[in-house]
Amino acid sequence: YILCYIIEPGNAKDFAIKTEGYCSYCKTAKPFRAHHCKICKKCVLKMDHHCLWICNCIGYNNHRYFLLFLFYLILFSGIATFSTWRVAFNIEDPIIGIPPIIRYGVFGVSGGVFLVISIFGYVQYTAAVDGITELEQKELKSGKATKEKYSLGSKGNWELIFGKDIFYLSW
């Protein structure tokens, strides 16, 4: 989480290569795959979206850390859901003094959080493997672009985000 928050997503002004147009907000040339974030008030290289969870844009420099944050969030919310399931349905010794309705409620909330985060994670990971961002998915749906415009192949897209290091799941 901290790395997603503190690492700049990729300021487009730092990468003045192969421009795709002009940003009317920043009044500068806009590199290929850069988009302007109205919340951050800057152009972000390979911008995926502005994340309210981390108060930062997800872009070229911090996409890896965001996907790792999501992976570990899914993992730990799954563990929490499994733990509350064991307590809610008396798989282990029942906790004295906690009514079943509260146990079921806690299990329902943790299961719901796990489900929502898992769906969001699935969408983000499939987009990463396809080599497209959330904003580029909208362009694909409207017919303004094709997947081939952005994709380097599944392996190439994965390596672009995580690198070639075998320890890509580490921070």
Establish whether 51 is a catalytic residue: yes
Q: How far apart are CA 152 and CA 33, in angstroms?
A: 14
Give residue 14's Cα distance to chain centre. 23
What is the C-alpha separation between 104 and 29, in angstroms, rounded?
55
Residue tagged active-site, from 4, 23, 51, 55: 51
Q: Would you name the residues annotated as active-site residues?
A: 51
